[in-house]
Amino acid sequence: MDTRGPLCVGIDPHASLLASWGLPDDVGGLERFARTTVEALADRVAVLKPQSAFFERFGSRGVAVLERTVADARAAGALVLMDAKRGDIGSTMAAYASAYLEKGSPLFSDAVTLSPYLGFGSLRPALDAAAASGAGVFVLALTSNPEGASVQRATAADGRSLAQVVLDHIAAENAGAVPLGSVGAVVGATLGDAGADLNVNGPLLAPGIGAQGATPADLPALFGAAAGDVVPSVSRGILRSGPAAAALRDAADRFRDEVRAAVGPRNEEFR
Ligand SMILES: O=C(O)c1cc(=O)[nH]c(=O)n1[C@@H]1O[C@H](COP(=O)(O)O)[C@@H](O)[C@H]1O
C-alpha cells in the first residue's frame, strides 16, 4: 500500500458484468474477464481480491481459472486476497488453511477472508498456517450488509458486542507487531458509525465502496485515527468501467486518489 496506494480491487465476475463486457456467461467468458482484469490492474493496485463464489459457479473449470488468476496476479506484483469467507470447526479449518495458506497449494494466496462466527478459536489452524507462510487473514468483524448487525452487534455475556469480541481477539493476535500484524479485520465502509474500538494493530479491509453506496469520503469519519490502516475495497464500482484496460486503470486510479485525498498518510502516532 505504501508503494502502490491504498486500494483493493475485487474481481467479482457477476453474470451481469460478463454481459456488459460482451462476454458469454460461461467459463470462457469468466476466463477472459479475469485475465483482462489482472492484465489491466495487477501491476498497479496493491491488492486484488478474487471472489471465489463467482469462479465456483462454473465448477472445477471455474476453480482452474481462479488458480490461474491468483498466480498471474501475484506474478505481476499484486497481493492476492482470496475472498472465500471460510469458517468451520478447527479440524476442517485446517484443511481450508492448507488450501489457501500453505505454500505450494494451487490456491495459495497472500491472505484469505475468514468468518469467526464458529468461535474465534476455531480459526487457529488458519492463523498458524498464515504465520508459517508469511501470509495473512482478514476476519469478518462488522460486515457491510445491513443484515450483519443482527448478529455482529448482539451483546456477548460480558457486555461487549460480538464484533468487539472479534476485534479484541484480532488485536491480541497482532500485539507488538510492527508496523502492523497480519491478522486483518473486515469493517464495511457502509456502516456510518463503527460503534466499536477498531484499534487492532492490523489492516482494516473496508468493502462497500461503490456499488453498495459508500465513498472514500466516508472513511475518515468511520475509521478515525485508524483510517491510515484501511484497505478500501471496490469491485463493481471499478469493474463496470471495463472491458477496456485503460478505463479499468483510470477507474482504479481515481478511487486510489480519492482515498489518498480523504485519508491522508498513515498515522504512526495512532499506534
Ligand atoms: O469480505 C469481503 O470482501 C466482504 C465483506 C463485507 O462485509 N462486505 C462485502 O461486500 N464483501 C465482499 O466485497 C465485495 C463487494 O463488491 P462490490 O459491492 O461490487 O464492491 C463482494 O465480493 C463481497 O462479497
pLDDT tens, residue by residue, 231-247: 999 999 999 999 999 99
The answer to the question of residue 35 being in a domain is yes
The answer to the question of residue 3 being in a domain is no
- Give distance in angstroms: CA of 205 to centre of ligand 1: 10
103 has catalytic annotation: no
| pLDDT-derived band at 264, boundaries 50, 70, 90 | confident
Domain limits at 209?
8-264
Query: Average pLDDT, stretch 101-124?
Result: 98
Say whether pLDDT at 159 is over 80. Answer: yes
pLDDT tens, residue by residue, 246-258: 999 999 999 999 9
Q: Which atom of ligand 1 is nearest to the CA of 51?
A: 22
Catalytic residue among 57, 61, 74, 85: 85
CATH code of 177's domain:
3.20.20.70
For cell 477496456, the residue is 244
Q: How many CA atoms are closer than 13 Å to the CA of 118, on its beta-carbon side? A: 14
**Residue 236, ligand 1, Cβ within 6 A:** yes
% the chain with pLDDT above 70: 97
pLDDT, residue 107, reads: 98
The answer to the question of residue 252 being in a domain is yes
Report the C-alpha gap between 236 and 98 in whole angstroms: 30
pLDDT, residue 270, reads: 54
Say whether pLDDT at 138 is over 80. Answer: yes
The answer to the question of residue 269 being in a domain is no
pLDDT tens, residue by residue, 14-25: 999 999 999 999
| Total tally of structural domains belonging to the chain | 1
The answer to the question of residue 15 being in a domain is yes
pLDDT, residue 195, reads: 93
pLDDT, residue 268, reads: 54
- Give distance in angstroms: CA of 208 to centre of ligand 1: 6
Q: Which atom of ligand 1 is nearest to the CA of 235?
A: 20
pLDDT tens, residue by residue, 188-230: 999 999 999 999 999 999 999 999 999 999 999 999 999 999 9
The answer to the question of residue 94 being in a domain is yes
